[in-house]
């Protein structure tokens, strides 16, 4: 597969070019940002439980490391490929720059369906992948984290394998680890909590107060959606709709979030819950609510259904849930869109905190972490909002402009080697 083959990579480049044109970004800087700095493709052979050997394709891409070490997740999914990984690494560069972290953009993954492998096979896969890419990662080089199909256990195996290769414990090589092996408090819920923070920042700009009259629909009910739902519910908002792979559920008086969490964590589908109306995921997206949070997968709001979306505020909890055409349509309708590289940046911010704590071997309490997360997101939100007002563009384009301002300054100061 060539670098430009995936829609995600092409979309990232298109957003780069559009925002760069609006702000007058140095064309030499834009040319460098179109391509990853480094990409590695590796074979990952493992012995399956039945004794046979199967080989999977793995990747690690570092897009731009002007601001610091690479930062980005490791994804285990059948659709992982080089081009998608490169596109995600590019977006991580922009996300880290936007929220002011001293980190660059990277991404990795293996083309595999992790649900088909046993725990032992997953451990073997993770350890072999770590071994194959170990020359590209490290606390001062590139720091992976969990993503789709991976979790804290995956990161613990990764850290242990890397440490075995080095001969000593290196907790700072990955983030998203379990607390007992150097993880950070607040990391698991950070992305969803960040979504809730951004919703509040946007509400203030819109003159809206989050309270009992506020209605919220959330597309998804996983690692991002659940903490966001909990925080907004605690402020008094009514979570009227949520969804999972089985479909969506609706209650105009508000869903019992605690019951829904317990239900899903027991392995049951939302459609089987009692006392709530069953609707489709498509119907959820077009409900007449104050706030819509697409927090599941990309591309769910398109030019086809965007005209029917009624929410006043749309918070992109997932990566790329709105297509370019949908953003244009909804912006013209007056919807306030909180862009993904800002809205879901809570995860990488607290990953940064974990990395810093690991380097220092000094850990913070949850109050410090949430306070610092709030302040970083508030400053980034204000920067994006100011850019949207200055350039008279939607928040999505403004987020890229704010990120490019920081990248442009840093890349100019560092220059081009060789000159």
Does residue 146 share a domain with residue 207? no
Does residue 212 share a domain with residue 159? no
Q: Inform me whether the pLDDT recorded for 266 exceeds 90.
A: no
Q: Of 149, 181, 213, at which residue does a domain stop?
A: 181
pTM of the complete model? 0.92
Q: Which of 74-83, 235-244, 269-278 has the lowest mean pLDDT?
A: 269-278
Closest to 294 measured CA to CA, from 233, 226, 217: 217
Section 55-60 average pLDDT = 98
Range of the domain at 47: 7-181
Does residue 327 share a domain with residue 200? yes
**Token pair 């659940």 is at which residue?**
226
N- to C-terminal Cα distance for the chain?
Answer: 32
Alpha carbon distances (Å) from 240 to 115, 255, 257, 284: 31, 6, 10, 9
Q: Inform me whether the pLDDT recorded for 158 exceeds 70.
A: yes
Q: Of 128, 152, 181, at which residue does a domain stop?
A: 181
Active-site residue 107, yes or no? yes
Alpha carbon distances (Å) from 218 to 107, 239, 242, 254, 309: 27, 8, 5, 12, 13
List the 277-279 sheet strands across, edge first: 277-279, 247-250, 238-244, 215-219, 291-294, 313-315, 336-338
The residue from 34, 37, 95, 107 that is catalytic is 107
Q: Is there a domain that residue 195 lies in?
A: yes
pLDDT of the residue at 11: 83
Q: How many residues belong to the chain?
A: 419
Section 318-334 average pLDDT = 90
Distance (Å, whole) CA 360 – CA 373: 19
Quick: pLDDT tens for 161-180. Answer: 999 999 999 999 999 999 99
Does residue 318 share a domain with residue 200? yes
Q: Is there a domain that residue 200 lies in?
A: yes
Q: Of 162, 181, 200, at which residue does a domain stop?
A: 181
- Domain with residue 231: its CATH number is 3.40.50.720
Q: Is there a domain that residue 343 lies in?
A: no
Contact partners, residue 305, CB within 8 Å, separation at least 6? 282, 285, 286, 326
pLDDT of the residue at 376: 97
Q: Is there a domain that residue 378 lies in?
A: no
Does residue 234 share a domain with residue 148? no
Quick: pLDDT tens for 341-383. Answer: 999 999 999 999 999 999 988 999 999 999 999 999 999 999 9
Closest to 222 measured CA to CA, from 279, 265, 190, 251: 265
Section 98-121 average pLDDT = 97
Question: Which of 8-12, 120-124, 187-191, 268-272 has maximum average pLDDT?
Answer: 120-124
Does residue 203 share a domain with residue 150? no
pLDDT of the residue at 339: 94
- Domain with residue 39: its CATH number is 3.40.50.10860
pLDDT of the residue at 17: 93
Q: Is there a domain that residue 409 lies in?
A: no
**Token pair 């083959």 is at which residue?**
5
What confidence category does residue 12 fall into, taking pLDDT thresholds of 50, 70 and 90? confident
What confidence category does residue 3 fall into, taking pLDDT thresholds of 50, 70 and 90? confident
Closest to 95 measured CA to CA, from 281, 323, 339, 282: 339
Domain count, the chain: 2
Strands, DSSP E only, in 112-211? 142-146
What confidence category does residue 70 fall into, taking pLDDT thresholds of 50, 70 and 90? very high
pLDDT of the residue at 174: 97
Distance (Å, whole) CA 219 – CA 235: 20
Distance (Å, whole) CA 118 – CA 262: 25
Average predicted confidence (pLDDT) for the chain: 94
Q: Inform me whether the pLDDT recorded for 1 exceeds 70.
A: no
Q: Inform me whether the pLDDT recorded for 33 exceeds 70.
A: yes
């Amino acid at each position: 597969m060539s670098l430009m083959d995936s829609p995600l990579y092409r979309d990232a480049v298109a957003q780069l070019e559009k925002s760069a044109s609006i702000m007058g970004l140095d064309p030499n800087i834009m040319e460098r940002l179109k391509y990853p700095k480094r990409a590695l493709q590796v074979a990952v052979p493992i012995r399956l439980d039945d004794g046979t050997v199967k080989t999977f394709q793995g990747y690690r891409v570092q897009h731009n490391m002007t601001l610091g070490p690479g930062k980005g997740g490791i994804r285990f999914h059948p659709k992982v490929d080089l081009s998608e990984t490169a596109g995600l690494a590019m977006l991580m560069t922009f996300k880290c720059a936007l929220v002011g972290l001293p980190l660059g953009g990277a991404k990795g993954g293996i083309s595999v369906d992790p649900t088909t492998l046993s725990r032992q096979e997953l451990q073997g896969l993770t350890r072999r992948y770590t071994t194959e890419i170990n020359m590209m990662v490290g606390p001062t080089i590139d720091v992976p984290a969990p993503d789709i199909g991976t979790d804290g256990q995956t990161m613990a195996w990764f850290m242990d394998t890397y440490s075995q290769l080095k001969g000593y414990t290196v907790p700072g090589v990955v983030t998203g680890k379990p607390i007992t092996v150097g993880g950070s408090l607040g990391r698991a819920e950070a992305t969803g909590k960040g979504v809730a923070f951004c919703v509040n920042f946007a509400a203030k700009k819109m003159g809206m107060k989050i309270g009992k009259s506020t209605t919220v629909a959330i597309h998804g009910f996983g690692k991002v959606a659940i903490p966001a739902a909990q925080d907004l519910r605690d402020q008094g908002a009514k979570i009227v709709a949520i969804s999972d792979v089985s479909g969506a559920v609706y209650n105009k008086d508000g869903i019992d979030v605690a019951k829904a969490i317990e239900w899903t964590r027991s392995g049951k589908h939302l459609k089987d819950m009692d006392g709530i109306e069953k609707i489709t995921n498509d119907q959820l997206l077009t409900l007449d609510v104050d706030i819509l949070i697409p927090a599941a997968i990309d591309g769910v709001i398109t030019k086809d259904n965007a005209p029917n979306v009624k929410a006043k505020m749309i918070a992109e909890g997932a990566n790329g849930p709105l297509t370019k055409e949908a953003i244009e349509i909804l912006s013209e309708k007056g919807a306030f869109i909180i862009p993904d590289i800002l809205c879901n940046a809570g995860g990488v911010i607290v990953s940064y905190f974990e990395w810093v704590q690991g380097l220092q071997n000094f850990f913070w309490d949850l109050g410090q972490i949430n306070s610092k997360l709030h302040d970083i997101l508030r400053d980034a939100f204000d920067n994006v909002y100011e850019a949207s007002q200055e350039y008279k563009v939607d928040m999505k384009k403004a987020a890229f402009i704010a990120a490019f301002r920081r990248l442009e300054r840093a890349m100019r100061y560092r220059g081009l080697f060789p000159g």
